[in-house]
Amino acid sequence: MRNTLRISFSLKNTYRVNSILYAIKQIPIIKKILPDSLYRMIGFKIAGHIISWIWEVLSSIFGKAIYFGLLVAGTFFAGEFNKHSSFGEIFMHLFLFGTIIGVMSNTYMLSTHRSKYYAIMLLNVDAKKYNIINYVYQIIKLSICYAIAFVILHFTAGIPLWLGLLAVMFAVGIKTAVVGYMFLSFEKGKDADGTNPFSWLTFPLVILSAFMAVFFPAIGYPFPYVALAVVMAVGVALGILGLVKIIKFKQYREISRQTLLKAESVKSDSKQTVVKNTTKAISADTNITSYKKGFEFLNELFIKRHKKILWKPVLIISIVAFAIFAIANIATIFLPELATELNGLLLNSLPYFLFIMYAINRGMSYTQALFINCDHSLLTYSAYKKPKNILKLFTIRLREIVKMNLVPALVIGVGMSALLYVSGGTDNPINYVLLLLTPMAMSIFFSVHNLTIYYLLQPYNANTEVKSGTYSIIMGLTYAVCYIFMQIQLPTLYFGIAVLSFSIIYCLVACLLVYKKSPETFRIRA
């Protein structure tokens, strides 16, 4: 067992360290400094291991913290409709059903991490020992994090310690019970799937659990502590039965082989599916043509032939946004109490729309389609990579993606301005202008951002796989910044002016960088 544990952690850590070093090596400025022998240098390996362990600790805490944070937020939200129940009752009710939903998406035992594939499929490590050791490790992490969270909740929200301890045991027990059920099903000839343990029943069970989690607190009747304790005790008892099955199960290699090979097949198929779907979306109409010349001719043909994947989603998003704001405006007219709340929200929560504009922006889909069906071939020609040609085509493409993203942004801007007026208006008329222009400025920013990153980092290789660590980091940071702004309330006046100014400056800098750097960076990766 000890040797298996050592091999397991060594493989996982080595894979993670090499991934970290590879990502660092892809950063444009740093990669010129670091030697190709980076992976053999002891100092960098030690640094990589330290980062790896820090990441292990932070990832363990971060995921659980988000989960409990969402439960707390859900409890406060439900408390607005239910003034009779205590915070603890609503929270534990949500925790119960949230845990049940979580079990159906991740049981820990049948994970398909790449290091597990290497260990069991390539190095022939004992599958039973490997799976059990890693499962116990994950359970220990979960138990520690949950126990700390419930201790904090005991002192801050008054949740009984005994119920918190039982909740931790329930979370462990219900996962173990589901694992035991999957093992039993596998012995009867059924396929195993760690993310779909109950086959066709999984989705209905998730929906039912989500409904029960929301419905009972909303009507003022969350499960009392006694009922929660009974259900959790049953979960613990089932967990004991599942533990017996885990110990006695003899087909670990077979079930690991099935799940790991299936995961590898899914990954391969998903990559091919992206290419196939993008290719299928191209119009086969031979009558499509253009009377323009040069890069304008190339661009117009591309837009016309990819209309289904470029403009269809834009129109759907715009129609949905129009319907939402139309309903909101009508509801505000007939519900004066709603008008007051919406008016204050519109004047202070414009940063929230930064995340919305990020989510609906079509920049990533546009650049992916560009590479798969255009640049993938054209990047083999040297004339295509000359600075003046790159900048010319960049500006043409930027114009097109801006046009696409401006349509839903305009709908949202008009809808917000109209909603502000209907809900009571504002003493400062500039707020109307900012509510109209800021979503449009955001859409322009994300259009420029996605296309610029594509040209400066070009993340795809010949198989359309993302191979740029820097690209992944930047896109991840973009998501994180947009998410953080969701939590910030800023006056429309200041935030709107800041967004407009930043977007203008960013566009100018982006065009300059593309002109200067893209002849070196805009290429197909190895």
Alpha carbon distance 414, 417 (integer Å):
5
pLDDT per residue as tens, the chain (526 positions): 666 656 666 666 666 666 666 666 666 566 666 666 655 666 656 666 676 667 667 777 877 888 888 888 888 877 766 667 788 888 999 999 989 888 887 777 877 777 777 777 777 778 888 888 888 888 998 899 999 999 999 998 888 999 999 999 999 999 999 988 888 888 888 877 766 777 777 788 888 888 888 888 877 788 889 999 999 999 999 999 999 999 988 888 888 888 877 766 545 544 555 555 555 555 555 566 677 777 788 778 788 777 777 888 889 889 998 998 888 888 888 777 777 777 777 777 777 788 888 888 888 888 877 887 777 777 777 777 777 788 888 888 888 888 889 999 999 989 888 888 888 877 788 888 888 888 888 888 888 888 888 888 877 765 556 666 677 778 878 878 887 776 666 676 777 788 778 888 888 888 888 878 777 777 766 5
For 209-241, b where at least 16 C-beta lie within 10 A, e where not — what string? beeebbebbeeeebbebeebbeebeebbebbee
pTM of the model as a whole = 0.58
φ and ψ of 103, to 5 deg:
-60, -35
Contact 520, 385 (CB under 8 A): no
Instruction: Determine if residue 54 is left, alpha or beta; phi over 0 gives left, psi from -120 to 50 gives alpha, anything else beta.
Output: alpha
Domain map (residue ranges) of the chain: 2-8+84-263, 295-521
Alpha carbon distance 32, 308 (integer Å):
41
Q: Could you say which DSSP state residue 372 is in?
A: I
Contact 328, 301 (CB under 8 A): no
Q: Could you say which DSSP state residue 464 is in?
A: S
At residue 269, the pLDDT reads 45
Coil, strand or helix at 490: strand
At residue 507, the pLDDT reads 81
Contact 184, 245 (CB under 8 A): yes
Residues 6+ apart with CB under 8 A from 344: none
Alpha carbon distance 285, 384 (integer Å):
26
SS3 content of the chain, % helix, strand, coil (to 5): 80, 0, 20
